[in-house]
Amino acid sequence: MTGTSYAMAWREDTGPRVVGKVELADDAVVLEATVPPGSEQRVPFGQIVDTALLGGVLRVDHEVGVLLIRTLDAGGALRELAERIETAVASAHARS
């Protein structure tokens, strides 16, 4: 995967809103918080069961919850992220 990062805000299930950057590692979506600072979350591609782009929100259903991601940039960045996650998830499931 490339080193592209996206400025995004996200919420896990009904948890608090977090702002930071989202990157794709070789094996996972990586969410690094800047507000509140200091936390990092990894969602392995193999644990993602579905994704959907719904009116400005990328919904990522995974084995332990639902991740809702919104862009802090242009809407095109969210579509690009959604496409890249879908490609990586399909590849991960094909290998398993």
Say yes or no to pLDDT of 82 above 90: yes
pTM greater than 0.85 (yes/no): yes
pLDDT of residue 40: 92
- Measure the CA–CA gap between 70 and 81, rounded to whole angstroms: 11
Whether residue 2 is predicted with pLDDT greater than 60 in this model: the reply is no
Over the stretch 43-74, which tens digit does the pLDDT of each residue have? 999 999 999 999 899 999 999 999 999 999 77
Instruction: Answer for the pair 41, 31: CB distance below 8 angstroms, yes or no.
Output: yes
| pLDDT bucket at 1, cuts 50 / 70 / 90 | very low
What are the chain's domains? 5-95 (2.30.29.30)
Q: Is 63 helix (H, G, I), strand (E, B) or coil?
A: coil
